[in-house]
Chains A and B, each alone.
Chain A
Amino acid sequence: MATTSGHTVKAFDEDLDGLRALISQMGGLAENAIRESMRCLKQRDCEGARKVVEEDARLDALETEAERKVVQLIALRAPMADDLREAVAALKIAGVVERIGDYAKNIAKRVQVMEDASDIEPIALLPEMARVAAEMVHNALNAFVERDPAKAKRVCERDTVVDDFYNSIFRALLTFMMENPQRITQSAHLLFIAKNLERIGDHATNIAEMVWFASTGERLAERPRGHNPADPA
């Protein structure tokens, strides 16, 4: 459905390109925050974690900027059809990316208050889980910039991988806590970190669904969900 020719009013294309670039920049920051917070967790780098928390303010500022750009685009250009859907998607995606940044920030905050947890076995799964989640964010944002619904759909399909990671980490941590009640604080932090990553995966999926809608005008069918022992009944 991608349109090859630009708008008769070139400034309209420039506005849309500018908006896309801004969202892409936000995605880059969020992705980086996930990677950095996980590196700090692994290397117990409290100073680095503090920087991740600080950097989140930039993401918040960019979200405000994206909001301003979208409102201006709607007011001045009166976008229609796929342009309108894209503007609305950009507005929503900016909000979601900001949330993703918050989850990464939350991980970084936990790094600063946690005692050494490197001997808690499930921690070994977290970096790989974070890698998949960050990759989903990356691909969802690329799909938006490229207006590529097929790529967006593949992101949605990846979410089960993150969910599976979460389920196994959840089970492993429960077992560990039962066996080591004195380590419950650290384990709970790790559990929250896993949950944050799982939520990041969900948010990346939401972005991908918005990209699908923006480029096709249709809603992506609700994805089937398996039984999740970590979900409340």
Chain B
Amino acid sequence: MEAPAVEGAEAAPQAPSLKMRASGVSVWYGAKKAVDNVSIDITTENVTAFIGPSGCGKSTFLRALNRMNDTIPSARTEGLIELEGEDIYGSAMDVVQLRARVGMVFQKPNPFPKSIFENVAYGPRIHGLAKDKTELEEMVERSLKRAGLWDEVKDRLTESGTALSGGQQQRLCIARAIAVDPEVILMDEPASALDPIATARIEELIHDLRGRYAIVIVTHNMQQAARVSQRTAFFHLGELIEYGETSQIFTNPRVPRTKDYITGRYG
């Protein structure tokens, strides 16, 4: 099948450090095609936001980036997704390693029912990243600091992660994702269950983490996409309609369907 031309796709300049590349990716749930022939480049320098109405395939596509769809029996993925040039669906790819390299943060904070320390230490421990207890403690502290949570929890690391507030839990989940030193962090509506202040802290955190990790965020909140990202991709009915610089997408979208969506004329 011929790849449909995506207007504005060439407008997104090639950043020097291409981290992930999807080429002609389609995802099916049984007979239903949820993602249709999507090609996109993800870089470390830019936060990439996926926007689009419910059911447009943006979350499904996000989940294809670390093979999270493998857990759904009826899901089938076609096309090529590369992480640093390596086919993530190739037989040489260890999916556990992949998910350490491409971490994920979900809509609802989902800390383990364990202590704050254990939540963060869990990843480095199962991946054998720390050689001793001191190093593990350093990793936990560093991750919690990067997630902007350290000052709030440093005196109660033994308390349960689930006892934290929603916003703190979400930052704990981000610390947990960071702890295994990933290259890419996928965020699926990371702030949609949080109040405005907790949301602002997550957005500030995304801003701080930019450049260190390639960040991809799915959001229904267009203001949020506009605030946190440098590249925005608009999905509609499983297709990537337009991909470009965030400022261009929100001030002068090239494709009428993008414009109708972001100006609230959709449907």
A and B from one complex: yes
* Interchain CB contact under 8 A, B223 and A83: no
Q: How far is the CB of A232 from chain B (nearest CB, A)?
A: 36
* Interchain CB contact under 8 A, A82 and B263: yes
Determine which of A7, A217, A218 lies in contact with B264 in the assembled complex, contact meaning CB atoms within 8 Å: A7
How far is B96's CA from A1's CA once the two chains are assembled, in angstroms?
Answer: 48
Determine which of A8, A83, A85 lies in contact with B267 in the assembled complex, contact meaning CB atoms within 8 Å: A8
Q: How far is the CB of A117 from chain B (nearest CB, A)?
A: 50
Count, chain A residues at interface, CB 8 A: 17
* Interchain CB contact under 8 A, A5 and B251: no
* A85 CB contacts on chain B under 8 angstroms: 251-252
Closest to B259 in A: A81
Count, chain B residues at interface, CB 8 A: 15
* Interchain CB contact under 8 A, B260 and A5: yes
**B106 at interface by CB-CB < 8 Å:** no
Q: How far is the CB of A127 from chain B (nearest CB, A)?
A: 42
* A3 CB contacts on chain B under 8 angstroms: 256, 259-260, 263, 265
Give B222-267 interface residues, CB cut-off 8 Å to A: 222-223, 250-253, 256, 259-260, 262-267
* Interchain CB contact under 8 A, B265 and A80: no
How far is B251's CA from A217's CA once the two chains are assembled, in angstroms?
Answer: 8
How far is B263's CA from A9's CA once the two chains are assembled, in angstroms?
Answer: 10
* Interchain CB contact under 8 A, B264 and A12: yes
**A73 at interface by CB-CB < 8 Å:** no
* Interchain CB contact under 8 A, A82 and B259: yes
How far is B266's CA from A82's CA once the two chains are assembled, in angstroms?
Answer: 14
How far is B263's CA from A78's CA once the two chains are assembled, in angstroms?
Answer: 9
Interface core residue of A6, A7, A218 (most chain B CB under 10 Å) = A7
Give B24-54 interface residues, CB cut-off 8 Å to A: none
* Interchain CB contact under 8 A, B263 and A7: yes
Task: Give B residues with C-beta under 8 Å from A.
Answer: 222-223, 250-253, 256, 259-260, 262-267
Task: Give A residues with C-beta under 8 Å from B.
Answer: 3, 5-9, 12, 78-85, 217-218
Other CB < 8 Å A-B pairs besides A3-B256, A217-B251, 14 of them?
Answer: A3-B263, A5-B265, A6-B265, A8-B266, A78-B223, A80-B250, A80-B264, A81-B250, A81-B251, A81-B262, A81-B263, A83-B263, A84-B250, A85-B251
Report 13 cross-chain contacts, Cβ distance below 8 Å, ordered by A residue.
Answer: A3-B259, A5-B265, A9-B264, A79-B263, A80-B263, A81-B250, A81-B251, A81-B253, A81-B259, A81-B262, A82-B259, A84-B250, A84-B251
